[in-house]
Amino acid sequence: MEAKKRIEIMDTTLRDGEQTSGVSFLPSEKLQIAKLLLEELKVDRIEVASARVSEGELEGVQKITQWASQKGYLDRVEVLGFVDTPASVNWIVESGAKVMNLLTKGSLNHLIHQLKKTPEQHFEDIRESIAYAQEKGIAVNVYLEDWSNGMRNSKEYTLSLIEFLQGQAVKRVMLPDTLGLLAPEEVKSYFQEITKLFPELHFDFHAHNDYDLSVANVMEAILYGAAGIHTTINGLGERAGNAPLESVVAVIEDFTDFEIGIQEQKIFRVSKLVEQFSGQHIPANKPVVGENVFTQTAGIHADGDNKKNLYFNDLMPERFGRQRKYALGKTSGKANILKNLEELGISLEKEELAKVTQRIIELGDKKERVTTEDLPYIISDVLQNNVISKHISIEGYHMTHSKGLKPTVQLRMKIHGKSYDESATGDGQYDSFMRALKKIYKSLGKELPKLTDYHVSIPPGGKTDAFVETVITWDYGKIFKTKGLDPDQTVAAMMATEKMLNIIENMTYQPEKEESTYYGNEYRAVAG
């Protein structure tokens, strides 16, 4: 049986990825990312810096090479160098690295207008750089900058450069689509031509994503002769970025017969760390690593998954160290809710499930996102409401909060079918609400309990944008708590207060029938 062709993955997050606008890794961060790339993800090579950039860059490379030397990874750590003998090579020697990726001009346009040299002069400079690197014990790969434009507009020059490199001590020839301008059919055509002309050379392809074609172009490159692919974590890079490692790995694994050594299950954790270090937020819909890509929202999808995994594809979340989730919102329906309840080990009665579903739909209509972590809060709130007879309700309110002025509230309460209106000013919106409420209760000859504690929280993890939970502790001869849920903290507190009023009303309104007691997080009627 013929062995599968192996594709090398060279990750350049620490060099090309750091050219993302606003991204600059600290030396210690570079070391941590390098360790994860080589030891966790098992990429074949990493490009960690450009020579001669700064002292900080030198320190970062030295940290990486010292560690890599101890681990036996030094030949897998690469540094971009320039045709500037001896400057780049000397910098790389000082950094402790052993591999230089030499940046040459892959298009006649770049050569003439940037270097202002003839091809013969450039080739001689390249030869000198490679010879000096060899003398210093540095292995050399060569980039053909602007190769894609070269193939389009000055093919004779570009092919002559590759032919020249074939006779030099070069391990890899690296072909960048520097401006991200190629279409997949061009990548196919160019690789077919080059690999036919130079079958003995190892070619890498370096894609940029300006037209959102980087992954498609990578696929064409490897199908038609590329032996290595350059990537970055999360697609970091200049302008629209580079080919994202996470998508490239998935495409190679699922759409080709080639072999790669990447540990897929480690991709997500590395992606999240790079997100933190770079400060570049991962879009929620980004393939493989985005927040939403393994989340089913429509209820019909959850129902289909229950019946025979009808909405699964080969991109199973477990491959990448993730889990499938079922989003909760106005389109989710009972199937999604049941999936989430199953995950939490909770079962509800039919009537309770209907009420929980309705509450989630209400939040979805407000464009709020509900997570699995929110569910226990919603269930507790719904079940608490179920056991409290509602004689009192907040019918309406208008709150104002302006700089330099005290907050005011206009409040309408409905008590046993009759409406009462009051307004008040206080030290905050909730304080204003309570002052207005006290006026109403005073007019009825009633007293309110003493508020002894007020606590605001969100579900564990802090990822929800659906609501906050406000828990208020009251003293009414006995201590009890009520809670409210709402996206607005003040409204949540008002809902908790409404529950308190109904608990007290149930205690006093029908004393001949039962004695009412509040235990922990719920109200229970105890037969007397």
Angle at 11 between CA 7 and CA 14, to 5 degrees: 170
Tell me if 224 sits within 8 A of 201, measured CB to CB. Answer: no
Provide the strand spans (E) within 17-62. Answer: 45-50
Question: Residue 398, Cα to own-chain centre: how many angstroms?
Answer: 39
Dihedral angle of Cα 360, 285, 248, 173, to the nearest 10 degrees: -160
DSSP bridge partners of 13: none
Question: Residue 247, Cα to own-chain centre: how many angstroms?
Answer: 14
145, 238, 246, 422: the catalytic one is 145
145 a catalytic residue: yes
Phi/psi of residue 290, nearest 5 degrees:
-70, 155
Structure tokens at 55: 């002292």
343 a catalytic residue: no
Name the residue with tokens 């001669």.
52
Preceding peptide of 86 cis, ω within 30°: yes
Tell me if 54 sits within 8 A of 19, measured CB to CB. Answer: no
Which distant-in-sequence residues (6+ apart) come within 8 Å of 54 by Cβ?
A: none
> 156: part of which helix (H) or strand (E)?
helix 155-166
Q: What is the DSSP string of 277-342?
A: HH--PPPTT-TTTSTTTTEE-SHHHHHHHHHH-TT--S--GGGGT---EE-BSTTTHHHHHHHHHH
Q: What is d(CA 20, CA 281) in angstroms, rounded to the nearest whole number?
A: 12
DSSP category for residue 75? G
Structure tokens at 114: 């940037």
Phi/psi of residue 100, nearest 5 degrees:
-110, 135
Q: What is d(CA 290, CA 307) in angstroms, rounded to the nearest whole number?
A: 26
Q: What is the DSSP string of 101-137?
A: EEEEE-SHHHIIIII---HHHHHHHHHHHHHHHHHTT
Q: What is d(CA 425, CA 400) in angstroms, rounded to the nearest whole number?
A: 10
Q: Which residues are annotated as catalytic?
A: 15, 145
